[in-house]
Amino acid sequence: MKRPYRYRFLPEVALADVAFAAVGESPGSLFEACAVALTEVMVDRKTVRPAVVRQVRIRTNDVDGLLYDFLTQLIVLKDVDSLLFRRFEPRLSRDRRSLMCRLAGEPIDRERHRLRNDVKAVTMHMFGVRHEGALWKATVVLDI
């Protein structure tokens, strides 16, 4: 059975906005947990069906930039193509400078989706990916 996504919101960090901490056993599972947390800020993900598949590719200089650009890409897809996603399958390269991710979701449906906040941006406040022991961790603060 698939483990639950490991993230928790940090209401004490950002009064006007939303912060979360995420954990993964691999960079891929960390990125997936972050994508789920970001999506849960925008919509109750259970109400989104995995009807449309998209693929994104990102290349950057470091793993921090990769996570920043990946999450930003999900915000862009929400604004440009009105897409929200249910499933995320990120695959990172060995050097953790590039990523390919299969996304499954559907166009925003105001009747059926339980919408929440319109995320403006990923901020750099406290932002970063850390490798601690066997775990990969990240803290993300979103501007609402």
Partner 1 sequence: MPVPPQTKQVSEVVWEIPTSYKQGMNVPARIYATKKLLEGMDQGVIEQVTNVASLPGIQRYSYAMADAHWGYGFPIGGVAAFDPEEGVISPGGIGFDINCGMRLIRTNLRLKEVRPKVKELVDLLFQLVPTGVGVKGFVKVNQSSFEEVMRWGVKWCGENGYGWDEDARMVEEGGFIKGADPSKVSRQASSRGIQQMGTLGSGNHYLEIQVVDPTRFFDAKMGKNFGLVHDDQVVIMIHCGSRGFGHQIGSDYLRIFDGAMKRYGIEVRDRELACAPFSSKEGQDYYGAMACAANMAFANRQVIVHRVREAFQKVFRQDPEALDMHIVYDVCHNVAKVERHSLDGASRELVVHRKGATRSFGPGHQDIPAPYRQMGQPVIIGGSMETGSYLLLGTARAMADTFGSTAHGSGRTMSRTAARKEVNGETLQRSMEKKGIYVKAATYDGLAEEAGMAYKDISEVVETMHEAGISLKVAALRPIGNIKG
Instruction: Kindly give, in sequence order, each residue whose CB lies less than 8 Å from that of residue 41, ignoring residues fewer than 6 positions away.
Output: 18, 20, 116, 117, 119, 142, 144
Binding mask 25-44 for partner 1 (x = CB under 8 A): -----------------xx-
Question: Residue 17, interface with partner 1 (CB under 8 A)?
Answer: yes
User: How far apart are CB 67 and partner 1 at their closest, in Å?
Assistant: 12
User: Which residues is 57 bridged to in the sheet?
Assistant: 100
**What is d(CA 106, CA 76) in angstroms, rounded to the nearest whole number?**
14
Residue with tokens 């920043």: 68
Binding span for partner 1 by CB under 8 A among 24-32, 47-55, 73-81, 91-99: 73-81
If we measure between CA atoms, which residue out of 36, 30, 65, 37 comes closest to residue 135? 30
Q: Which residues bind partner 1 (CB under 8 A)?
A: 9, 11-12, 14-18, 42-43, 61, 65, 68-69, 72, 75-76, 78-80, 82, 84, 108, 110, 114-118, 120-125, 127, 141, 143-144
